[in-house]
Structure 1
Amino acid sequence: MTKNIKFITFYDLEKENKHGFSSKAYPPTERTLVLREQIIPGAFGYPDMYIRHMKLRYDNRDYPIICMTDYELDEVKRLEILAGAVNFLGEAGV
């Protein structure tokens, strides 16, 4: 991981067993796909996927957080995600 983090992705998807944070260290281009906020209906045994956007101000920079979960985020979970993103950036040496 580098200090060039442009955005953070948070996953909490039970069926895919995907949990936690990741980041991309490259600048978005015209080929970069960022999903808009929405609920993607589940299919083939998968639950609905909730795409939500958050923003974190850390070390005088804004970091977009794209959240992909199989449940709606409540205020407590949003705060947990923000705290986790701060830890994630700290571990990355940002």
Structure 2
Amino acid sequence: MLNLVWCAVNLLPAFPLDGGHLFHDLVEARYGSDRALFWTGLFGTIFAIVAKIIFIAGILTGFVIWSPPYLKPNLQALRASRQHQPTR
């Protein structure tokens, strides 16, 4: 059961998880690199914020759990995608 949970977590569309790389590749093939970086960074940032809220709730309840994905690589991807987009 634990392996299934790890599998599900690893497939979240967020960096540096495998799901983030898979999601990026799928979106990149259809919409291009900048959009793929933006959407992967956005989803990763959302998942990272939710994971940190769960982590803090776990600390408060005495049940500490590891909470991927990490915020920093996802924010970096989101910022990098915004820098490459042309201005209108």
Q: Same fold (TM over 0.5)?
A: no
Provide TM-score, normalisation by structure 1. 0.30
| Higher strand proportion | 1
| Higher helix proportion | 2
Rg bigger for which structure?
A: 2
Provide TM-score, normalisation by structure 2. 0.31
